[in-house]
A = this chain, B = another copy of it.
């Protein structure tokens, strides 16, 4: 197994203990039917590598989906040295060392083929289990489309999560309504039948042990209370793909979102809010590498939601790194607002460390969800959690043990809250 470099002996001891714990991963994009990577292309295809190499000069067509997987890997290997300073590259090196026994310091066009051979897994199911066991995984949450049948996998391990982006943001697209009708059997034609269909989705997901409902929301979305009455006409226009104005689209987004929050209350599901992304800001980027954000966002826009749904827990992730301090304040005041991990553009060590310190100093320890992997393949869960656990160990060594005179046990107990106890309890697992 790869060694995580930690020079401070106090942090080392904390990390080594945490590394013995299981991993509870409350948000990922893992495919439960194919959780681990079958080959190196499925690792290198993670958008971080393709987008960073593209940003560093690699033409997008070198990783085109139509290419042979091995060729894509070869092509990418020619650019990896340009991004070998990034934390994302360090996850890759930890993966090839830990899971593929790859010894070299770098991945180059010269050694990529040997590595590709090593990483090829024909016994898929056995490999899934091996990665699972070596990572000490306890549970990994999925992000399921609303029409996912949720069948054929162990929902104790791969916990379903109802993703509602399409319903809220793309209700006016024909495929959304079609999928909704097909998957629920409800003839969705107006707000009333739409509501009924969403109820069917919640019933199915909850029956399958869903841990949460989730959505990612753009900066211009402000979830004000909407009355179905006002939304009747816009909803009807959306469902029938009629032309509708921008303010009507807003109305549709708001009322569908509010309806989903009502179901979260009824079914006692946490509602993960992932706030900030704007899709397709860089349309000619590689797949998965086209979204960015506008940093001018505030949780103040969410006050009505947090007040109205006092009984719903909202694990909140914010995309813009400079929005992290505001989330600390809102989590400190609202009982139902919970800071959730460190997401995407905020998921690099310097931003994590700053956010983590503030959360540990000002948010009740029972409310913090330390980390989630956001991974697409199982191999990424371990290195990403190790990055977080290392930072957590270093912050606790500095701020709690040396800074406040805490014992190692007290520091570890806090770590356990944010890594295990809280996510298990908040997402209805164990305890």
Binding site for B on A (CB under 8 A): 3, 5, 7, 51-57, 82-88, 90, 278, 281-285, 289-290, 292-296, 298-300, 303, 306-307, 310, 320-323, 325-326, 328-335, 345, 348-351, 354, 357-358, 360-367, 399-400, 402-405, 414
Contact = CB atoms under 8 A, between A and B. Distances in A.
A314 B35 CA distance: 40
A285 B307 CA distance: 10
Given A82-B365, A283-B307, A349-B361, A300 B326 contact: no
Identify the interface centre among A87, A335, A367: most chain B CB within 10 Å of its CB: A335
Nearest to A286: B333
Contacts of A403: 5
B325 A351 contact: yes
A79 to B, nearest CB: 9
Contact of A351 (B52, B358, B360): B358
Nearest to A306: B282
A405 to B, nearest CB: 4
A53 B85 CA distance: 41
A364 B326 contact: no
Contact of A294 (B282, B283, B298, B320): B298
Contacts of A293: 300, 326, 329
B367 A358 contact: no
B335 A56 contact: yes
Given A87-B362, A90-B404, A278 B300 contact: yes
A90 B364 CA distance: 13
B57 A366 contact: yes
B57 A282 contact: no
A295 B282 contact: no
Given A296-B296, A335-B56, A402-B7, A354 B365 contact: no
Contacts of A83: 364-365
Given A57-B366, A321-B328, 11 more contacts: A5-B405, A51-B333, A55-B334, A55-B367, A85-B364, A86-B362, A87-B361, A281-B300, A292-B330, A295-B298, A321-B325
A361 B5 contact: no
A84 B296 CA distance: 33
A300 B307 contact: no
A46 to B, nearest CB: 14
Contacts of A294: 298, 300
A240 B40 CA distance: 64
A333 B87 CA distance: 15
Given A335-B55, A357-B350, A86 B363 contact: yes
A364 B52 contact: yes
Contacts of A85: 360-361, 364-365, 400, 414
Contacts of A399: 349
10 nearest interchain CB pairs?
A56-B364, A321-B325, A294-B300, A5-B405, A350-B357, A85-B365, A329-B345, A348-B361, A83-B364, A294-B298
